[in-house]
């Protein structure tokens, strides 16, 4: 089952979009997960709701909101285009933004659970041994939640690979620019004789998603094993 | 070393209001569970910030709420051995031990590392993972980890409470070595009279968040007063390990003129030892009993007797340079016509002296 050039382009674009989405959302996801797991502040439940919104809302709505906010005339989109030259609408960067937002709740959730599983008594012990809070985070907390972080990244990556609704609404379906795997499959099913191509891409999509889920499961078990305090 | 602690703190309906001083060696914070001992030691460590209070070590003010001064935990250099070992599960034993050494700045030398590893007998565990260790081994590693951070004060919160009797007997000699060889002052929280008797020089009795009594261990533990639960009253006897009778699993301890048989201890001959003999474990006889299983029969003279309380009296007996306390019924006192100056034999079962 050889892929055509167009199909390869879609696969490569999907991988790039998913990777960029995963890497750029990681620092923010870690900060938000930390705040939700440990912080006590006004508006915490609002932040929690906001983070989880993309999971509940119809993807089309998320895509439309992105278009309104990050589009060329949107408040943030106009600002970024003007001062940083960063354009999202109808670009692959927009597809990555949509994918990142859709995968964000999954990543935050996974990291947050692993933070909550860390025995804080270990952090107290580290403090009595002379470590300040930054060192405690680096030498105790981070190693203990590492598997949770990786699991969250895998989930976010898998979500990004399959994202459809928000992407097509926000950045449309432009071959070579915003036509990711899912969008390519959709396009192929819309034309006569596209079934074979759609089938090939479907197989690739199934393999990538399955591998990601299994990897995440494996890492989640590792997290549970390692955070049991001895 | 001189430690001054003053703390007032309210947790729900429970209030801590305690002040004490300690002058080095091992100071025991002694009291029932729920008496506020752990909160107090957490206040000393800086893990709990009291509503108001003051902590001074050797003239250096560590915390003073009046002046808004609070040194954070990691800058106090107080080692802490918790009730549970709290080893870092992602690090090997060696890295756990070295963790604090790294932050200590001045750092402990490799020779110091080797010495502490040897003292705690953890040399063959260095490359293991914490989860593969037994409870006693974990606690020894935790003690070593605290020591290697070069603390100026060591806090221990019931470090033996989570262990069974065999493990306790295994660790106690290490704690004695620690006390005798390192010279680091220790604040030791415990509710066990036997542990406190064996380790502490100074005892501070905590009850309901307040200091109820404080003083030398022998004085506090030996008094038949309200400091201790009545069940626990007894006498503290200082002795030296004379020799071991491994065939019978016994250790002979010289105390004054007498040799006491106690269950086998992990301590070399010549090792100084303090034994706590609970008054309720001591019998009295007016003539030397024959055909009796108890191994310790100590001739002595009655010093004084307390008035009867709930049908029993506490009798103090001078036995060859030691003071032993016996609790007997008021009926026995009448029948045997016990009074100060009378010669008696104090009988102590060896198995009652187990830790």
What is the Cα–Cα distance from B347 to B338, expressed in whole angstroms?
A: 15
**Model pLDDT, residue A57:** 93
What is the pLDDT, as a whole number, of residue A122?
95
**Which of B38, B47, B71, B73 to substitute to test the interface with A, most A CBs within 10 Å?**
B73
For A219, counting Cβ atoms within 10 Å of its Cβ (0-12 exposed, 13-18 middle, 19+ buried), the class is buried
B86: tokens are 């709290």
Where on the phi/psi map is residue A195: left (φ > 0), alpha (ψ -120 to 50), or beta? Answer: alpha
Q: What is the pTM of this model?
A: 0.81
What confidence score (pLDDT) does residue A230 get? 42
Task: Considering chain B, tell me which residue range(s) the CATH 3.40.50.300 domain(s) occupy.
Answer: 3-228
Question: CA nearest A135 in B: which residue?
Answer: B103
Q: For residue A134, what is the nearest residue in chain B, using CA coordinates?
A: B74
Q: Which residues from A are below 8 Å from B82, CB to CB?
A: 121, 125
Residues from chain A that touch B72, judged by Cβ atoms under 8 A, are 127, 132
Window B:46-75, CB contacts with A under 8 Å: 46-47, 72-75
Picking from B38, B59, B39, the residue whose alpha carbon sits closest to that of residue B51 is: B39
Strands (E), chain B: 3-11, 14-22, 26-30, 52-57, 60-64, 69-70, 78-81, 153-157, 186-190, 202-207, 210-216, 234-245, 250-255, 258-263, 272-278, 282-285, 296-305, 312-319, 322-329, 343-348
CA distance A119 to chain B (A): 9
Which chain B residue's Cα is nearest to A130?
B74
Distance from CA of A135 to the nearest CA of B (A): 10
Nearest to A152 by CA among A100, A216, A226, A223: A216
Q: Give how far Cα A10 sits from Cα of A159, A186, A195, B265, Å.
A: 16, 12, 16, 75
Residue A6 reports pLDDT greater than 50: yes
Q: Give the Cα separation of B329 and B215 in Å (integer).
A: 29
DSSP conformational letter for B47: S
Confidence at residue B306, expressed as pLDDT on a 0 to 100 scale: 87
ipTM: 0.80
Closest among B149, B63, B66 to B101, alpha carbons compared: B149
Is the distance from CB of B253 to CB of B354 less than 8 angstroms?
A: no
Q: Which part of chain B has CATH 2.40.50.100?
A: 234-353
More confident residue, B174 or A16: A16
Inter-chain touch A127–B88, beta carbons under 8 Å: no
The gap from C-alpha A114 to its chain's centroid, in whole angstroms, comes to 17
The pLDDT of residue B16: 92
Quick one: what percent of chain A has pLDDT higher than 90? 58
Residue A225 has pLDDT above 90, yes or no: no
From first to last of its 355 residues, chain B has per-residue pLDDT tens of: 789 999 999 988 899 999 999 888 899 999 888 888 999 999 999 999 999 999 999 889 999 998 989 999 999 999 999 999 999 999 999 999 999 887 876 656 788 889 889 888 899 999 999 999 988 899 999 999 998 888 889 999 999 888 887 778 778 888 888 888 888 899 999 988 888 888 888 999 998 899 988 888 877 876 655 566 677 778 888 889 899 888 888 889 998 889 999 888 777 888 888 888 888 889 999 999 999 998 999 999 999 998 888 889 989 999 988 889 999 999 999 999 999 999 999 999 988 886 5
Distance CA A133, CA B32 (A): 34
Strands B186-190 and B153-157: parallel
The reported pLDDT for the residue numbered A229 is: 45
B234-353 topology per CATH? OB fold (Dihydrolipoamide Acetyltransferase, E2P) (2.40.50)
Q: What distance in Å separates the CA atoms of residue B106 and residue B152, rounded to the nearest whole number? A: 13
**pLDDT higher than threshold 80 for residue A226:** no
> How far is Cα B163 from Cα B159, in angstroms, rounded to an integer?
8
Residues of A within 8 A of B105 (CB-CB) are: 130
What is the SS3 assignment for A170?
helix
The count of C-alpha atoms lying within 13 angstroms of the C-alpha of A200, restricted to the half-sphere facing its C-beta, is 16
Answer whether A226 touches B (CB < 8 Å). yes
A118: contact with B, CB 8 A cutoff:
no
In whole angstroms, give the CA distance from residue B191 to residue B229: 11
> How far, in Å, CA of B286 to CA of B270, rounded?
33
Cβ contact (<8 Å) for A144 and B47? no
Both tokens of residue A41?
């502040």
d(CA B233, CA A19): 70
Domain topology for B3-228: Rossmann fold (3.40.50)
Residue A19, pLDDT above cutoff 90:
yes
Asked if the Cβ–Cβ distance from B131 to A139 is below 8 Å, we say no
pLDDT of residue B264: 81
Per-residue pLDDT reduced to its tens digit, A109-144: 999 999 999 999 999 999 999 999 999 999 999 999
Q: Which of B130, B147, B120 is nearest to B86 (CA)?
A: B130
Give the whole-angstrom CA distance, residue B46 versus residue A221. Answer: 35
Q: What is the pLDDT of residue A47?
A: 94
Is any Cβ of chain B less than 8 angstroms from the Cβ of A144?
A: yes
Q: Which of B89, B105, B155 is opposite residue A228, by nearest beta carbon? A: B89
CATH 3.30.420.40 fits A5-226, yes or no: no
Select the residue of A129, A131, A144 nearest B145 (Cβ to Cβ): A129
């Amino acid at each position: 089952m050889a892929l055509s050039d167009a199909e390869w382009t879609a696969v490569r674009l999907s991988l790039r979009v998913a990777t960029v989405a995963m890497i750029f959302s990681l620092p923010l996801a870690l900060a938000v997960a930390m705040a939700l797991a440990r912080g006590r502040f006004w508006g915490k439940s609002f932040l929690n709701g906001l983070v989880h919104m993309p999971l509940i809302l119809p993807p089309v709505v998320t895509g439309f909101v992105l278009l309104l906010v990050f589009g060329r005339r949107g408040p943030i989109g106009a600002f970024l285009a003007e001062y940083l030259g960063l354009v999202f609408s109808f670009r692959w960067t927009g597809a990555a933004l949509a994918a990142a937002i859709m995968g964000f709740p999954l990543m935050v959730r996974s990291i947050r659970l692993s933070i909550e599983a860390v025995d804080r008594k270990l952090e107290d012990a580290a403090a009595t041994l002379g470590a300040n809070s930054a060192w405690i985070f680096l030498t105790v907390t981070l190693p203990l939640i590492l598997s949770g972080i990786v699991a969250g990244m895998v989930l976010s990556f898998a979500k990004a690979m399959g994202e459809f609704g928000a992407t097509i609404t926000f950045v449309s379906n432009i071959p070579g620019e915003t036509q990711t795997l899912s969008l390519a499959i959709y396009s192929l099913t819309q034309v006569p004789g596209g079934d074979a191509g759609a089938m090939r891409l479907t197989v690739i999509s199934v393999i990538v998603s399955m591998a990601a889920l299994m990897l995440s499961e494996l890492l989640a078990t590792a997290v549970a094993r390692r955070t049991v305090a001895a | 070393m001189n430690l001054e602690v003053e703390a007032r703190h309210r947790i729900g309906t429970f209030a801590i209001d305690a002040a004490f001083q300690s002058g080095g060696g091992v100071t025991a914070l002694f009291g029932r569970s729920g008496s506020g001992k752990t909160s107090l030691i957490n206040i000393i460590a800086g893990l709990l910030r009291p509503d108001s209070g003051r902590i001074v070590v050797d003239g250096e003010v560590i915390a003073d709420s009046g002046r808004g001064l609070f040194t954070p935990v990691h800058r106090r250099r107080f080692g802490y051995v918790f009730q549970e070992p709290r080893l870092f599960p992602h690090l090997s034993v060696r890295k756990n031990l070295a963790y604090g050494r790294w932050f200590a700045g001045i750092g402990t030398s490799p020779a110091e590392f080797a010495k502490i590893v040897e003292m705690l007998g953890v040399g063959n565990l260095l490359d293991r993972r914490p989860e593969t260790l037994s409870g006693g081994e974990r606690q020894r590693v935790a003690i070593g980890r605290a020591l290697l951070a070069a603390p100026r004060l060591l806090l221990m919160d019931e470090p033996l409470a989570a262990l069974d009797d065999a493990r306790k007997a295994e660790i106690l000699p290490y704690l004695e070595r620690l006390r005798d060889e390192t010279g680091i002052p220790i604040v030791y929280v415990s509710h066990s009279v036997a542990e406190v008797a064996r380790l502490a020089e100074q005892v501070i009795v905590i009850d309901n968040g307040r200091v109820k009594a404080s003083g030398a261990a022998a004085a506090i533990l030996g008094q038949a007063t309200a400091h201790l639960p009545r069940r626990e009253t007894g006498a503290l006897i200082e002795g030296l390990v004379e020799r071991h009778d491994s065939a019978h699993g016994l250790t002979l301890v010289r105390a004054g003129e007498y040799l006491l048989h106690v269950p086998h201890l992990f301590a070399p001959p010549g090792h100084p030892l303090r034994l706590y003999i609970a008054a309720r474990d001591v019998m009295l006889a007016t003539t030397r009993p024959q055909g009796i299983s108890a191994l310790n029969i100590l001739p002595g003279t009655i010093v004084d007797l307390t008035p009867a309380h709930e049908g029993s009296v506490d009798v103090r007996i001078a036995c060859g340079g030691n003071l032993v306390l016996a609790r007997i019924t008021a009926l026995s006192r009448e029948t045997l016509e016990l009074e100060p100056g009378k010669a008696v034999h104090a009988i102590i079962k060896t198995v009652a002296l187990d830790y």
